[in-house]
Structure 1
């Protein structure tokens, strides 16, 4: 029984663990910058602000990724989660340079979160259709979302 449950959330767990490692990397960067420049330089402020911004959006990311994975399909949700982590890394690194360099990562991450949110809505709507009308479009929707997740890679 446990192996069946783990099989249905395995990819989501992996992406969550990778995101935890990324958070540790961000925290290490902030700590290192603080020690090198004594917390009062613009470089420390940029790194610290980038870290705070990433942490502010982190609960939203986890919620929509897990909801999309559980209500619809874990594979495209996990793929979108990985793409979001890449976008977040791009945002963080861009913010360490000039603030304007972080805009592409921010916009890309926002698009991925929108896709995950849409997956949640579709998954919940399909569950309601099954419960109240007996119609199950999950296979069709899974096919569409799997194909659509590849579109996330288009800049």
Structure 2
């Protein structure tokens, strides 16, 4: 069992960090509700509250997608690379949340960066799965060709 733990320890750590970040975002909505006197179940109020609420909702909407591709890319491509990308994504979402809370424009830079990281994780997941399903007879020539392409540029 120890070997399996090592194979996913970084992914599990990034997952836990993501869950804690989601909890932090939810807590910020509670604080904003109190500050701006917006009682549940209302989701509208002053623009300052609505930005915090929408930032949290958006982060929550993307979280399942992030987790799925984090784990697929980590298991089938490389755990360390996926975990590093995961930390970059979480940092961007933190900046997105606080940027959005300050102003609608403040969300854009971190939003675009986090989207690029998601696309990178998707690409890593696809590459890992394609490599996994390639027959051994094709895998070696394909990997050699990729290695040659990466070193000649």
Interval containing the TM-score (normalised by the shorter chain) = 0.7 to 0.9
Aligned to 2:19: 20
2:101 maps to which residue? 96
SS at match of 2:139: coil
Q: Displacement, 1:135?
A: 2.2
Say yes or no: does 1:79 pair with 2:84: yes
**What do residues 94-132 of structure 1 show as CA deviations (whole Å, max 9, x unaligned)?**
000111111000000000001000001100110111x36
Q: Unaligned stretches of 5+ in structure 2? A: 39-44
Give the aligned partner of residue 57 of structure 1.
62
Q: 2:112, 2:61 → 1: CA distance?
A: 15
Aligned to 2:48: 43
SS state at 1:12 partner: helix
Please tell me whether Structure 1 or Structure 2 has the larger radius of gyration of its CA atoms.
2
For 1:20 and 1:97, locate their aligned partners in 2 and report how far apart those are by CA, in whole Å: 23
Compute the TM-score of the two structures, normalised by the length of structure 1.
0.84
Deviation at 1:134, TM superposition (A): 5.5
Corresponding position of 1:34: 33
TM-score, length of structure 2 as denominator length: 0.86
Pairs aligned (count): 139
**Structure 2: distance between partners of 1:51 and 1:116:** 22
1:118 to 117, 123, 135: 123
